[in-house]
Structure 1
Amino acid sequence: MRTSDAVWAGAAGYTRARLQVYDFFIYGFNSPVAWKCPGEELLENYNRHVSGNHLDVGVGTGYLLDRCRFPTAKPRVFLMDLNPDALQVTAQRLHRFQPQTLRRNVLDPIRFDGEPFDSIGMNYLMHCVPGSIPEKAVMFDHLSALLKPGGVIFGSTVLSEGVDKGIVARAIMDRFNKKGIFSNTRDAASDLTRALEERFDDVSVRVVGCVGLFSARKRTCAGTESPA
């Protein structure tokens, strides 16, 4: 798989060893303490939007998928990530759903010939993708091709501009941006909203602490689609 160093830097840090402690640091410290966004907020976003025909992108460890309320007992679940360790760890955790895995780079057009999805989730992914929001929003174009008309895309991202960053949040963001793990120094809720509104309907962006929680629906009329 051909990827730039900047793209791989945002994914490569999630080794098997680090994934073993991922939940503790992300949902036990970073999210509630540094970003001021409790895990309950993230989980509620999943409970509100996840379907029985779901694709999850940037899977981490599958923490939210493991806890959310699917509307059916046997959902169709696909997992997409650039990091093979994250895919394997999450697939093992969610083995009861028999998930399918796809190793893809969301900044490239996505090869997929299966049935499109009713929901696509992307939790804490966008701030790890290089570029400004207008630049990396191309991921929405690529993922929209995998979404049914009227389907929902939703998730969360850590913002940097226009949010109240405390000392801890500022220190973590500065360090992660320097290491290439994050790329969010210019990310603002207004840019996220604009990127979604250019492509989707029923856009919602809600800021909790440093986190933008978002959702949007794919347009049902082909004539209203914005050009990529």
Structure 2
Amino acid sequence: MSEERDRGASGGIYNPVTLRLYDAGVLGLTNRLIWRCPTATMVEHYRSHAGRSHLDVGPGTGYFLERIDSPSLTLLDLNASCLSAASDRVGHGRSVASLQQSFFDPLPREHSFDSIGLNFLLHCIPSHEKWDRLSQFRNHLRPGGTIFGSTLIPDTETATLAARALNSTYNRLGVFGNADDTMDELENALRGYTEVSTRRVGQVALFSARRPQEDHT
């Protein structure tokens, strides 16, 4: 059931061939020309929030992880190709562990991290249960730890014609599952955290939030 809900996140579209094209196609062109959020902005977001012990949910090619200094990385993805590509890219000189499982599958309770990153993942998951799961990741942050990431939020008022067309096409093909996603849903999912920050850069919502220091649940 969890694999069904993960449709599009990385369950079939990403393979060794498409992953080789991802950095140039998505991070190099689409971000700048269609979504209007420079990849450099997303890199800075990562660098600002990644902690020493970092869990990356949906690590993609490892592009962003290669640009942070976290000495201990845990990669979580249902897709073995993504785990392999990211691990090979970032595994030199630091500790890297991989968890091949769904975004929705629970983590062992003893797993805790200084930061959790979800970059360009949530808009790929069609189930509205993703917002509940985003909230639940708080249980795997150490007190004061940060959850952060980015997601594409459709907005007919600010989106260009090209952005609306591409987002609609990806939803129709099952690559995206964000047709009904809103900033309100994202912000509501972060209510259990503190120091919540959300902002829009083009079509991309950048978010970060902390687990309260006194939260020992």
Matches within 5 A, 1:1-228: 3-11=2-10, 12-68=12-68, 70=69, 75-96=71-92, 97-111=94-108, 113-114=110-111, 116-132=112-128, 135-161=129-155, 164-197=158-191, 199-222=192-215
Residue identity in the other structure for 1:37: C
Q: How far 1:170 moved relative to its partner?
A: 1.2
Aligned length: 215
- Distance in 2 between the 1:3 and 1:155 partners? 21
Q: Whole-Å Cα distance in 2 between the matches of residues 57 and 203 of structure 1?
A: 19
What whole-Å deviation, never above 9, does each CA across 1:111-134 have from its counterpart, x for those lacking one?
A: 3644x11011111011011223xx
Q: Alpha-carbon deviation of 1:6?
A: 4.4
Q: How far does residue 67 in structure 1 lie from its aligned partner after superposition?
A: 1.7
Q: Which runs of 5+ in 2 are unaligned?
A: none
- The answer (yes or no) to whether the contact 1:106–1:143 under 8 Å persists in 2 is no
TM-score (norm 1): 0.88
Normalised by the length of structure 2, the TM-score is 0.92
Unaligned runs of 5+ in 1: none
Moved more, 200-209 or 102-111: 102-111
d(CA) in 2 for partners of 1:10, 1:46: 20
Give the conservation status (yes or no) of the 8 Å contact 1:202–1:217: yes
Letter of the 1:218 partner, please give it. R
Shift >6 Å, 4+ stretches: none
Task: Kindly state the Cα deviation for residue 31 of structure 1 after the two structures are TM-superposed.
Answer: 1.0
Identical pairs, percent: 35
